[in-house]
Chain A
Amino acid sequence: MSLNELYQNVILEHNRSPRNYRSMDDTDRKAEGHNPLCGDQLTVWVRVNDDVIQDASFQGSGCAISRASASLMTSAVKGRTRREAEELFRRFHRLVTGTLEPAEAETLGKLAVFSGVSEFPIRVKCASLSWHTLKAALDAPGHTVSTE
């Protein structure tokens, strides 16, 4: 397993210049996520209208995997319904834990760059922190989630 497969260029690029890296003050759907093990901490905001995610953003500190994941996630969920976003998370989670069929991986679009994570079990939490936090923001706004 090479390091290049974990740190694919897309991931490095999103780590350097994350998309949707801003707060949103016109929504109460916001949640904080912590990974106590590495001290990662991020806030995710979502604006939902008619059950469709209109906008998603994040801020916080974390490793390249968790920043890039939050960056790509916030882009990927825009325009999707909650159910679609949750389904996407389920597939993403199977991707990073190595239990997704290759054919299904194609349906993940850009998110497929995280396939290398499955070879680094310790980094699964980094990749999924933003997703757990998104789910918390959708389910119970103002909640704090922890990956421990």
Chain B
Amino acid sequence: MTAAPVPTLATPVPVPLDVERLRSDFPILGQPVRGKPLVYLDNAATSQKPQVVIDAVTRFYASENANIHRGVHFLSERATLAYDAVREKVARFLNAGSAREIIFTRGTTESINLVAQSFGRAVLRPGDEVLITGMEHHSNIVPWQLVCEQTGARLRAIPITDTGELDLEAFDRLLGERTRLLALAHLSNALGTINPVRDLVARAHARGIPVLVDGAQSAPHLGVDLQALDCDFFACSGHKMFGPTGVGVLYGREALLERMPPWQGGGDMIASVTLERSTWAPVPAKFEAGTPMIAEVIGLGAAVDYLSAVGLTAVAAWEHELLAVASQRVGDIEGVRLVGTAPAKASVLSFVMEGVHPHDIGTVLDDEGIAIRAGHHCAQPVMQRFGVPATARASFAAYNTLEEVDALVRGLRRVRQVFG
């Protein structure tokens, strides 16, 4: 007898999003900014927080606070259980094979640094190569530069095409004998491109090369199935997925984590310590030295529950609609050029306007209560590739509306007026 298929994140949710209801869960969205209703389109930088997440953090401090994994008392036991329950939750949310493969970190940046300094430093030899792409966030570039400098390895990057996609022919050429790791973004924060990660993982694995996926942008927008992606490491940040700042996740394949040396030393990550030597706790504790961000992890748990209840499939579908309408309408404005026009895109609309610096676009929009980002988005190589000093970027979340896209378009027309 075959068991009924377990619904996964990829299972379509029949009900479309009730965006108005969703918005009412986010107290900040009701707040006027500069006398206008807030139009928050800077979600790629950080998302807003629903009341349930705010409440979870407040409740923890008001009635549950204690340190974990060390007290014998009631509160400590409860806090420990709550903390470890979030690990299970995150493992289910990302469909990891086991909660032992989930390490809590401060965020994507720390997750990648952990892999670079633990895995990278142990594995890389002079002349070895780490392969990244030309569309990475600085946090998936600089940690590799650091470890390459420490080990004598070499950092190489897959170029991107004019539409902002990976050049797959170059990828096949660059994936070589000396490649020891491929590290790439799932969803580009500067271009919005969704990379064909599953396929690239398969190609890397065919050569025995492990893959790290930077999921800072994909975790909140695409619905991630780690077992299907089959990557070896995956990093994401709580604050971009309706959770608190200061907490993130590193997924690592258990067999790899077992072989990796600890990254930081301290309490909680040891099995035993003498003044001569220490032995390590099993994973994931081996990688969580010191008192972790307990309240933030609890808040992340609430965010994951919230996102799961809303349903990533419905979120992705709605954001796709917002992005499609916005791309069309913003792209039609005189003098606007979209930066990043890959067929597979999500949630991010980067653009430049002839004769107007992105910063000035940002300031005029801000005057209308519209929050976007202007700058290089911590992806300077992308800016260099497209020959622009900066772009303006509107990035969407599930609570955004078509009326807000209207407001953006009206705001951009005003920018045109101001700058003639």
Mark A residues whose CB is within 8 Å of B.
Answer: 3, 6-7, 12, 15-16, 37-41, 61-65, 67, 120, 123, 126
B374 CB within 8 Å of chain A:
yes
Q: Contact check, B389 vs A64: say whether CB atoms are below 8 A apart.
A: no
CB of B383 closer than 8 Å to a CB of A: yes
Within 8 A of A (CB), among B385-420: 389-390, 418-420
Residue from B374, B375, B420 within 8 A of A12 (CB atoms): B420
* B356 cross-chain contacts in A, Cβ below 8 A: 64
Q: Tell me, in angstroms, the Cα distance from A57 to B363 when the chains sit together.
A: 27
A16 to B356, CA, bound (A): 9
B side interface size, CB within 8 A = 19
Whether B360 pairs with A38 at a CB distance below 8 angstroms is: no
In the complex, are the beta carbons of A3 and B357 less than 8 A apart? no
Name the distance in Å between A8's Cβ and chain B's nearest Cβ: 11
Closest A residue by C-beta to B34:
A1
Among residues of A, the one whose C-beta sits closest to the C-beta of B374 is: A38
Task: Note all chain B residues with C-beta closer than 8 A to A15.
Answer: 419
Asked, given contacts A39-B375, A39-B389, whether A63 binds B420 with beta carbons under 8 Å apart, the answer is no
**Nearest A residue (CB) for B390:** A39
- Residues of A near B389 (CB, < 8 A) are 38-41, 61-62
Q: Could you tell me if B419 and A12 are in contact, using CB atoms closer than 8 angstroms?
A: yes
Quick check: A63 and B359 within 8 Å, CB to CB? Answer: yes
Cα distance A7–B420 when bound, in Å?
12
* In the assembled complex, B364 has its CB within 8 A of some CB on chain A: yes
Pick the most buried of B355, B357, B374: most chain A CB atoms within 10 A of its CB. Answer: B357
> Is B55 in contact with chain A by the CB < 8 A criterion?
no
B279 to chain A, nearest CB (A): 43
A65 vs B355: C-alpha distance in the bound complex, in angstroms?
A: 13
By the criterion CB–CB under 8 Å, are A3 and B376 in contact?
A: no
Tell yes or no: B162 within 8 A of A by CB: no
Q: Is the CB of A64 within 8 A of B357?
A: yes
Taking the closest CB of chain A, its distance from the CB of B307, in whole angstroms, is: 31
Per-position binary interface string of chain B over residues 40-78, scored 1 when its CB falls under 8 Å from any chain A CB and 0 otherwise: 000000000000000000000000000000000000000
Q: Report the Cα distance A64→B362, complex, angstroms.
A: 12
Please state if A39 and B360 are interface contacts (CB–CB under 8 Å).
Answer: no
**B131-150 at interface with A (beta carbon < 8 Å):** none
Known pairs A38-B375, A39-B375, A63-B357; A3 contacts B363 (CB<8 A):
yes
The interface residues of chain B lying within 8 Å CB-to-CB of A3 are 363-364, 367, 418
Beta-carbon contact of B367 and A64 below 8 Å: no
Give Cα A15 to B357, complex, Å.
10
User: Which residue of B is nearest A6, CB measured?
Assistant: B363
Pull 13 A–B residue pairs with CB atoms less than 8 Å apart, ordered by A: A6-B363, A16-B355, A16-B420, A38-B357, A38-B359, A38-B376, A39-B380, A39-B383, A39-B390, A40-B359, A63-B358, A64-B357, A65-B359
Chain B min CB distance to A63 (Å): 4
Cross-chain contact B375 with A123 (CB below 8 angstroms): no
Question: Which A-chain residue is minimally distant from B368 (CB atoms)?
Answer: A3
CA distance A65 to B383 in the complex (A): 21
* Least distance between B339 CB and chain A CB atoms (Å): 13
Closest Cβ of chain A to B374, distance in Å, is: 7
Quick one: which of A3, A6, A126 has the most chain B CB within 10 A? A3
> Which residues in A have their C-beta under 8 angstroms from that of B390?
38-39
Give min CB distance, A120 to chain B, whole Å. Answer: 7
